Amino acid sequence: MMLLQCQSNGLGVQHNMTYAAITGWGKCLPPAALTNADLATFLDTDDEWIKTRTGMQERRISHVSVSDLGYIAALRALAAAGKTVDDVELIVFGSCTPDQICPNVASRVQELLGAGRAACMDVNTACTSFLYGLTTASSMLRTGAVKSAIVIGAEVISPIMDWDNRNVAVLFGDGAAAVYLEASDHKEGLLDQQLGCYGEVRDILTVHGWGMKYANQEMQMGNSYWQFEGQEIFKRAVVGMVSASNSVLERNQLSSRDVDLVVPHQANLRIIDAVAKRADIEPEKVFVNVHRYGNMSAATVAVALVESIEEGRVNPGDHILLPAFGGGLSWCAHLIKWGERIQPIGQSGAELPACNKTALELVDELRASKAPRTALQGLMI
């Protein structure tokens, strides 16, 4: 252990400084892809509008549960780290679409993995859940509470999507990714973060029908109604992400020029461009995959981070900035220093069960199972 002079108690006592290195990574995307043209078969929308207003071309629709996606992503992250399930001391599941609330989803992943030594918790801050989960797990490693962790960002939004509402139905998709963290003496992993929330405007993104508030209201789970003020969310998202990015860089005496890669939340290409411009970040440093997956909420930054490694965008020692926002209205920016290894140690052969339906068939089934939207609006609380 590296010994550092203690700054906090002024007594000259020496403490060990532990970091939470990111040593494994893996993603799991359900195979069925819903194109803009598919959406135009049942919504008053078109490819041109969706592409120019959001940058999105397709998104995935899951045929399995969010815990199944998270489990496969976790296995892949473990293999990339060269670790086994017995090494895992903590599982943090970041999501706002848990398939169950009690018991939580992390415990389901523990059961599927057979990772019996792991403590299990879910974290929900909507789209920022993976990043808030990364803070939670890294902090626990840094205090010594645990020595390793899997942090998952996963979402299966399609069952609660308001499929008749073109304002939201075109924007979201399903997916998952995970990272493996291990205690390290080297200064790497999550160095710092700025977390925040505009609670006073929490209503601007509300999924009515999703939560105990709606119990016994004749509103079945899944029959949701989305309250969504797109332009207000857009403005708040840009302000929150830029302010968080500036704070975390300043605190670490870094300028935007010192950042090697930016992996932002992918809710809209125009939001990403606005954040990069206002935070003075060169566009070529910004990783974008919103065209492939749309907004996968908590899975978004997790999948983007994994793909930026897979596509050779991450180099040893890089400073990576991860700005994000989500319902709440939560916002944050995380600063990661990558370690030495950019190649996975191993690969998992685990796969999802085959999907024998198209994305449009999956969505058609979900739409057929919903009550008419007008009936749901009457039940809004």
Site residues for ligand UT7 per CB under 6 A: 45, 49-50, 53-54, 127, 166-167, 170, 205, 230-231, 233-234, 267-268, 295, 326
Which of 197, 223, 295, 332 is catalytic? The answer is 295
- Report helix, strand or coil for 104: coil
User: Nearer Cβ to ligand UT7, position 270 or 285?
Assistant: 270
How far is Cα 114 from Cα 374, in angstroms, rounded to an integer? 45
User: Nearer Cβ to ligand UT7, position 249 or 267?
Assistant: 267
User: Nearer Cβ to ligand UT7, position 75 or 205?
Assistant: 205
Minimum distance between the CB of residue 302 and ligand UT7, rounded to whole angstroms?
A: 14
Minimum distance between the CB of residue 269 and ligand UT7, rounded to whole angstroms?
A: 9
Residue nearest to ligand UT7 (CB): 230
Which of 120, 127, 197, 332 is catalytic? The answer is 127
Which of 36, 265, 332, 334 is catalytic? The answer is 265
How far is Cα 357 from Cα 39, in angstroms, rounded to an integer? 16
User: Nearer Cβ to ligand UT7, position 66 or 109?
Assistant: 66
How many CA atoms are closer than 13 Å to the CA of 136, on its beta-carbon side? 23
Residue-wise burial string across 243-262, b where 16 or more C-beta atoms lie within 10 A, e elsewhere: bbbbbbbeeeebebeebbbb
Minimum distance between the CB of residue 192 and ligand UT7, rounded to whole angstroms?
A: 23
127 included as an active-site residue: yes
How far is Cα 138 from Cα 134, in angstroms, rounded to an integer? 6
How far is Cα 210 from Cα 98, in angstroms, rounded to an integer? 11
Minimum distance between the CB of residue 4 and ligand UT7, rounded to whole angstroms?
A: 38
User: Nearer Cβ to ligand UT7, position 167 or 377?
Assistant: 167
Query: How many Cβ atoms from other residues are within 10 Å of residue 232's Cβ?
Result: 14
Residue pointed to by tokens 């899975």: 299
Task: Give Cβ neighbours of residue 48 (< 8 Å, ≥ 6 apart).
Answer: none
What are 150's two structure tokens? 């899997």
What are 352's two structure tokens? 């999802």
102 included as an active-site residue: no
What are 31's two structure tokens? 């195979």
Minimum distance between the CB of residue 311 and ligand UT7, rounded to whole angstroms?
A: 23
- Point out the residues that are catalytic: 127, 265, 295
